[in-house]
A and B are shown apart, each in its own frame.
Chain A
Amino acid sequence: QSVLTQPPSVSGAPGQRVTISCTGSSSNIGAGYDVHWYQQLPGTAPKLLIYGNSNRPSGVPDRFSGSKSGTSASLAITGLQAEDEADYYCQSYDSSLSAFYVFGTGTKVTVL
């Protein structure tokens, strides 16, 4: 079961800004572990979008940005485009005995 909580869906018109929250606990995000974000386009494998809370791999547009504070993190998409319609997952490391790598529940982004 997912340890990190995300909203099931967010939507916005082209050009707008949307944000996705990721809420964890004292054994993962709150313990200081980095948060990473993945984009999963329909029918494809996940792709690393943001690593180390706020860093973009080569090739990822700067429309995507990440931040972290306390036991939560956020992904922002500015200048929303049709090709951004996808599922987004946060991920962190968990120091509890029952899990090591934990994912968020996932958020479907819809471009209106």
Chain B
Amino acid sequence: EVQLVESGGGLVQPGGSLRLSCAASGFTFSSYSMNWVRQAPGKGLEWVSYISSSSSTIYYADSVKGRFTISRDNAKNSLYLQMNSLRDEDTAVYYCARERHLNFDYWGQGTLVTVSS
């Protein structure tokens, strides 16, 4: 069974940093591209970042470019999102999602990031 479990969310002050993790199991992690998608409270889904299976290709949404860094460790079956210079508008539930043919076929349960003073 495919499982994606996010962790690392919490309350952080504006300008602060946070590192999210996503532990994958039930599939060959190193064979799949992965993404982070977020959802602000009461709002819709917003794609955040993409990383290819070998980490050779990385994309970011304009809203986080230069502040967030996506990475992965295929030996540990883990995906990460380093978030720096956090802003109020980064408050959201962050989901990791497995990608297959340009869609997201499995999602984690999400981790809440709250940016507030």
Contacts and interface: CB of A to CB of B under 8 A. Distances in A.
Interface residues of B, number: 22
A41 interface: no
Q: Sort chain A's interface into a size bin.
A: 20 to 34
Nearest to A89: B45
Residue among A38, A45, A100 having the largest count of chain B Cβ atoms under 10 Å: A45
Interface string A2-32: 1000000000000000000000000000000
Interface stretch (B23-31, B66-74, B78-86, B104-112): B104-112
B97 to A, nearest CB: 8
B65 to A, nearest CB: 10
Contacts of A51: 100-101, 103, 105
Given A36-B104, A48-B106, A89-B45, 15 more contacts: A34-B101, A45-B109, A48-B104, A51-B101, A51-B103, A51-B105, A52-B103, A57-B105, A91-B103, A92-B102, A99-B62, A100-B59, A101-B102, A102-B47, A105-B44
Q: Which 5 A-B pairs have the closest CB atoms?
A: A36-B103, A101-B47, A106-B44, A45-B107, A103-B45
